[in-house]
Structure 1
């Protein structure tokens, strides 16, 4: 069985929710405190020298990291969780999935720990990252055309990202006001019965 090392509500939530949707069994190990020196950090770094969550230990003992790589692994088993191969939607699915990971995700790394990157201007870096993140979400809103999910009637792994990331900054109220399509997709995912428990365990459900 896959082991997911993570913290409730953190980036590991993406892996948990995607695995749950794909009906792939896993067990969760809470490594809260991994971002500070101590036993949790030491344990995690033995598996993943970067000390990041999510870190997945697969059935064969190998390590998988990076949420986009986890999504690719899941799609090998559940190709139905992305638009069909050969369709324009499939191309946009890959584009937006990679875009979220490459552009939005790093703003949390820098804004959550600004002192690591700009000790003399930590507050300014944090504020700039938060403002930039909002501009990215506004662009994404302009790309969302379908309902109830990002590509219409079929739930995909991109919708999982949207649902989970809405629970992070700038939080629900901002998304509802400024990105209503993004917020509506997240609401639709939150209503999926199979995801109720994992979303509740990660403080996603409101």
Structure 2
């Protein structure tokens, strides 16, 4: 493919997951900063004309259509690439597990950052610290569920997938790399291996230094 994608992103945010997948496919992309700040209100203002929820990432397809939701992007990019390198095909033995854990990541784990990173958007300031601590503990429990399901060396077993790309990025977030290394070593190893792929290394360096 030669037509350009446009990815609204902030370094180290969830946009890194999509940037890495585009790199795996060799799809050309133009990166557009979406606020570059930890202030969610500033990001929302920067994204207002692209994503109604004001969230990163948003992906503009070569034809001009806008996509949000990383799982939707993941599935659509695989279709466009006509490739099963990141998304097991319909007949693949790993297909059901892939879909299950992709949705688990985006519907259960990922949203915990939306309400846990800036808790005062959801609870009074007096209770924000305790609320955030409870969210992080719940997130740890969810990661342990995934650890129990991880096969190794990749999350699904012998085959690399987009789940591993998610892990490469999300194991950089809270509760932090040291926790993942100790408490969820299979997730950590899969994420490290994904981040070490030749196509993904520059993406990880740009996003996390």
TM (norm. structure 1) is 0.92
Q: How many residues align?
A: 201
Segment drifting more, 115-124 vs 157-166? 115-124
Kept in 2, the 8 Å contact 1:14–1:164? The answer is yes
Match of 1:79 among 67, 79, 84: 84
Q: Distance in 1 between matches of 2:86 and 2:44?
A: 33
Equivalent residue, structure 2, for 1:195: 200
Q: Distance in 1 between matches of 2:49 and 2:190?
A: 37
Q: Displacement, 1:41? A: 4.3
Q: Distance in 2 between matches of 1:94 and 1:30?
A: 30
In the alignment, structure 1 segments of 5+ residues that lack a partner are: none
In the alignment, structure 2 segments of 5+ residues that lack a partner are: none
Equivalent residue, structure 2, for 1:50: 53
Q: Distance in 2 between matches of 1:169 and 1:74?
A: 28
Q: Displacement, 1:154? A: 2.6
Equivalent residue, structure 2, for 1:132: 138
Q: Distance in 2 between matches of 1:41 and 1:146?
A: 38
Please report the RMSD computed on the Cα atoms of aligned residues, expressed in angstroms: 1.6
TM (norm. structure 2) is 0.90
Equivalent residue, structure 2, for 1:60: 63
Give the structure with the larger helix fraction. Answer: 1
Equivalent residue, structure 1, for 2:129: 123
**1:10-33 C-alpha deviation (Å, 9 max, x unpaired):** 011111011111111111111213
Kept in 2, the 8 Å contact 1:110–1:125? The answer is no
Query: Is the counterpart of residue 143 in structure 1 residue 149 in structure 2?
Result: yes
